[in-house]
Copies of this chain bind each other. A is one copy, B any other.
Amino acid sequence: MKPLLLTQGDPAGIGPEIILKAFLGYPDSVKGCVVLGDIEVFDRHALALLEAGWVPPPIAIMPSLDVCQKMQLPRGVLPLIPTGEIVGSWAMGRVSAAGGLSAAQCVQAAADACLQGHAAGMVTAPMHKESLLAAGVPWSKYPGHTELLQERAAAAAGVTPVQMPVRMMLANHELRVVLVTIHLPLRAALDAITIESVAQTLLIAHHSLSRMLGRVPRIAVAGLNPHAGEGGRFGSEEREILMPAMALAEVQGVNASGPYPPDTIFMRARRRDNQLTPEFDAVVAMYHDQGLIPVKYLGIDEGVNVTLGLALIRTSPDHGTAFDIAGKGCARAESLLSAITMARSLVAKDAVD
């Protein structure tokens, strides 16, 4: 079994801390995970944990993934492959070029290892946009991990990013949401909602979820307008864009229904505790906040962000760097653990495909 890579994230954020906590508190859940990050960064975070009353896990420096796979590390030991060596200074909770560069290098190294078949997938700890900007990473081009990975994966495949369409899925224990548009002003998002982009989202969601579930997923499509347009009175996009896109996707085997009124479809799609088979396996949402408001409403401790459509498996916790609490020992590892579990489920299904 190939390893699952965990990227350090911004050194000044909670990324290294939640990785350490995951190895400390959930050694079985992180079995087979290998961390890419800077030694000094993890040492500083381990020290901070110690000062906050925790006993951080031992860190084993690994020269390469190869060696790492051949060794049998004791349970709970964190295998670290030195990556993204810090050049310059950084401090907890502070933006720095050194931190941004280190974080980006870890993501790129992980992506390359996945694309070259050396790793099963990657789980990314949060980066900080200001640090990336300070490091000269063109943030306007890469407003998130998703876009950065898309370009890396496209380059590896010898195609343009446009030829490798990806979509963001947010998931927690009761809801999965796949977004048609992500990091765009709402006005621009409205323009980006086209028959093509909606149909593409449906296809990507269909293929990814089919693989994950082992059956044809039931996809609910959220409308764009109040009451899903109410027959045209409150907008025409449902008739002119969403329904034609659904018809196109259905021809290719997608099981999509809707468009449903946005204000109630997420409630309907929630998987209740006692519900073995929810009405829908996922909701396709039209824009960032339509999909993220319901996913985050109950709290973000368990949320997972999954990039669909890439030639690699990538998940991440659904929270940011949390500079305000970094290094204080109070960050929670639950969302990271959910992301690891989700990545594993994708890997497992991938392997049997």
A interface residue numbers (CB < 8 A to B): 129, 139-140, 143, 182-188, 190, 224-227, 229-230, 233-237, 262-264, 266-267, 270, 287-290, 292-300
Chain B's closest residue to A298 (CB) is B267
Within 8 Å by CB of A263, from B224, B226, B293, B299, lies B293
Chain B residues near A183 (CB, 8 Å)? 226-227, 234
Complex-state Cα separation, A236 to B186, whole angstroms = 10
Given contacts A143-B234, A267-B298, 4 further A-B contacts (CB under 8 A): A140-B233, A185-B229, A186-B190, A264-B300
Complex-state Cα separation, A274 to B258, whole angstroms = 38
CB distance from A337 to the nearest CB of B (A): 20
Chain B residues near A300 (CB, 8 Å)? 264, 267
Chain B residues near A182 (CB, 8 Å)? 226
Cβ-defined contact, A225 with B293, below 8 A: no
Describe A's contact surface by its main secondary structure.
helix
Chain B residues near A299 (CB, 8 Å)? 267
Given A185-B225, A185-B229, A226-B184, answer yes or no on A293-B290 (Cβ-Cβ < 8 Å).
Answer: yes
Cβ-defined contact, A263 with B296, below 8 A: yes
Identical copies in the complex: 2
Cβ-defined contact, A263 with B234, below 8 A: no
CB distance from A93 to the nearest CB of B (A): 19
Chain B residues near A140 (CB, 8 Å)? 233
Complex-state Cα separation, A180 to B288, whole angstroms = 19
Cβ-defined contact, B294 with A184, below 8 A: no
Cβ-defined contact, A235 with B186, below 8 A: yes
Cβ-defined contact, A297 with B266, below 8 A: yes
CB distance from A277 to the nearest CB of B (A): 19
Complex-state Cα separation, A185 to B290, whole angstroms = 15
Complex-state Cα separation, A4 to B203, whole angstroms = 53
Cβ-defined contact, A235 with B187, below 8 A: yes
Within 8 Å by CB of A225, from B186, B262, B292, B297, lies B186
A/B interface sample: 19 pairs, CB < 8 A = A139-B233, A183-B234, A185-B225, A185-B226, A185-B236, A186-B190, A186-B225, A186-B235, A190-B190, A226-B287, A226-B288, A263-B292, A263-B293, A264-B296, A266-B296, A266-B297, A267-B297, A267-B299, A267-B300
Complex-state Cα separation, A300 to B287, whole angstroms = 23
Within 8 Å by CB of A185, from B235, B266, B293, B297, lies B235
Chain B residues near A233 (CB, 8 Å)? 139-140, 143
Complex-state Cα separation, A292 to B289, whole angstroms = 12
CB distance from A227 to the nearest CB of B (A): 8
